[in-house]
Amino acid sequence: MTVYLDNNATTALAPEVREAMLPHLFGDFANPSSPHGPGMAARRAVGEAKAQIAALIGARPADLIMTGSATEATHSAILGALRVIEETDHRRDHIVTTAVEHPATLALFDDLRLRGWRVTILPVNRDGLPSLVDLAAAVSEETALVSMMWANNETGVLMPVAGASAIAHAHGALFHTDAVQAAGRVPVACGIADYLTLSAHKMHGPKGIGALYVRKGAPFHPLIHGHQERRRRGGTENVPAIVGFGAAAALAGLWLDEADLTAFLRDRLEHGVLARWPGAVVNGGGTARLPNTSNIRFADARGRPIDAEELLMRLDRAGIAVSMGAACSSGGNEPSHVLTAMGLGKAQAAASLRFSLSRYTTAAEVDAVLSELPALHARLVAA
Ligand code: PLP
């Protein structure tokens, strides 16, 4: 049995989602742009799925653009907005984000800096929160856009997106939020944002499908040209994946009511780990977090950071899958940019593991993790 606690990297496809997708992988294969009956049926299926996704964030289906990933959605939002601003408002040459964003945003900001944009990267405090006072000081009539994630993928920390959006808008700047980890785990309302990024595979949907919400009237220029998605994103629609995303969003909406259960299991895990591992500390534990995420820093009896990679490997051998920070940076030698931005030293960041639960995580699985810990503690701390 594998205990899978890496749901912020990706989640298992829900059986209901698989069932919804199957007809579109085999029999119903028509192109939604085709004018015949099967094509129109595919088009209807896409429309229904978009309505399901839109309902999760309080949007209209017409406000959504389906993309090949959340990374593409974020690129479309930011590049699409800036392209218009560049042409219409030359004063605005400044963009703002935070030090703890996903690389989908941070790497794009690096590239935009090279292309001449003035970039402010907001620092975060020990809990991973940027200060709205810092943001208010940074934003001006020269700011084109502010991008702040709704919830951090490594720590689960919920970011002050409503306040950040209000500050951006007060100066006429646009506001983008990456809600990939938040949607389906906490209530997410698109109303605060001009652009909002979503991904199916973090909510028990398929990989390779994302969505971008664009507020009606917000500036937008397509990244990929073509007639699909009302000329806002070219390329034949991935109908099975879009239908799967719709089914996943519908389930996620129902499961939001059960978020307390996930938080209960997460707390059981967290308290259990802290009780069995003296000196362990929750990164970001001092502020509100997603109900499914716990990022824990391990230390020896004298408070010295241990090597979490060793712990991860030993847990893996025991059939327990967790991660060190983000999936994409795991395996590399670089310490997590999120944890170092929170003020942790390299060794402390390298002593941290992320446990991320899902709707399918059980109490028995949590207890299986806890039962491994005393032996691992004895081995790693005594070693
Ligand atoms: N944003 C956040 C917060 C994420 O956690 C991820 C995935 O890890 C992404 C964006 C990128 O998602 P995708 O790989 O689907 O493009």
Ligand 1 centroid–CA 210 distance in Å is 9
- Where is the domain boundary, 230, 255, 280? 255
Q: Which atom of ligand 1 is nearest to the CA of 149?
A: 3
Which candidate in 107, 119, 137, 328 is catalytic?
328
Q: What is the CATH number of the domain that holds 269?
A: 3.90.1150.10
Domain limits at 130? 15-255
- Where is the domain boundary, 208, 223, 255? 255
- Amino acid identity of residue 161, one-letter, is V
What whole-number distance in Å separates Cα of residue 225 and Cα of residue 91?
Answer: 27
Residues 241, 265 within the same domain: no
Residues 209, 100 within the same domain: yes
Ligand 1 centroid–CA 371 distance in Å is 32
User: What integer pLDDT is reported at residue 259 of this predicted model?
Assistant: 83
Strand-pair partners of 130? 124
Residues 225, 106 within the same domain: yes
CB atoms < 10 A from the CB of 16, how many?
14
User: What integer pLDDT is reported at residue 31 of this predicted model?
Assistant: 97
CA 294 to centroid of chain Cα atoms: 15
Question: Active site includes 190?
Answer: no
Nearest to 193 by CA among 245, 149, 143: 149
Residues 163, 268 within the same domain: no
User: What integer pLDDT is reported at residue 328 of this predicted model?
Assistant: 43
Kindly state if the Cβ of 67 falls inside 6 Å of ligand 1.
no
- Report the number of secondary-structure helices (H) and strands (E) in the chain: 13, 12
What whole-number distance in Å separates Cα of residue 68 and Cα of residue 181?
Answer: 17
Q: Who's near 239: CB < 8 A, 6+ residues apart?
A: 24, 28, 29, 32, 42, 45, 46
Residues 248, 284 within the same domain: no
Q: Which of 102, 177, 245, 330 to mutate to test the pocket of ligand 1 (most atoms within 8 A of CB)?
A: 102
For residue 354, what is the enclosing H or E element? strand 352-356
For each successive 10 residues of the chain (383 residues), what is the average pLDDT? 95 98 95 97 98 98 98 98 96 98 97 98 98 98 98 98 98 98 97 98 98 98 97 98 98 91 96 96 98 97 92 97 70 84 96 97 98 95 73
Residues 224, 324 within the same domain: no
User: What integer pLDDT is reported at residue 331 of this predicted model?
Assistant: 52
**Coil, strand or helix: which one is 290?**
coil
As given in the structure block, the two tokens for residue 178 are 């990456």
Contact between residue 354 and residue 323 where contact means Cβ atoms under 8 Å apart:
yes
**Atom 5 in ligand 1: which residue has the minimum CA distance?**
153
- Number of domains observed in the structure of the chain: 2
Q: What is the CATH number of the domain that holds 31?
A: 3.40.640.10
Residues 221, 101 within the same domain: yes
Ligand 1 centroid–CA 71 distance in Å is 6
pTM, two decimals, is: 0.97
